Amino acid sequence: MLMALSGLSAIGAETQKRSDMRVLSKNPEDYEMPLEGFRDWITPVDRFFVRSHHYTPKVDLASWKLHVAGKVATPLTLTMDELKKMPAVEMVAVPDWPGV
């Protein structure tokens, strides 16, 4: 499956400060959860690490589109508004490793 992003600018955007995160680099973003965050089995989304090896592009969401093509039954193009109208799904995912 091929997903292409349309209308993206490669110019970096200002990063937002994330509370309680260890900042390794602000641009590109590289944040880690502090050690006390590992006390529970589930990491809250707002404390999950953020790591990017590229600068954050500025995006005009009014013209941005997601193109889904390739080995899919029905190619499609979605706007950000269409994506936001889709139902949200949350799922707990844990590794299925022996001894864990």
Residue 77 domain-assigned?
yes
Domain count, the chain: 1
Please count the residues of the chain. 100
Residue 96 domain-assigned?
no
CA angle 63, 15, 58 (to 5 degrees): 20
Residue 42 domain-assigned?
yes
Full domain range(s) for residue 28: 2-85
Predicted TM-score (pTM) above 0.75: no
Residue 78 domain-assigned?
yes
Q: Mean pLDDT of successive 10-residue segments in the chain (100 residues)?
A: 38 46 80 79 72 80 95 96 92 72
Residue 99 domain-assigned?
no
Instruction: Say what the pLDDT of residue 15 is.
Output: 39
Instruction: Say what the pLDDT of residue 94 is.
Output: 73
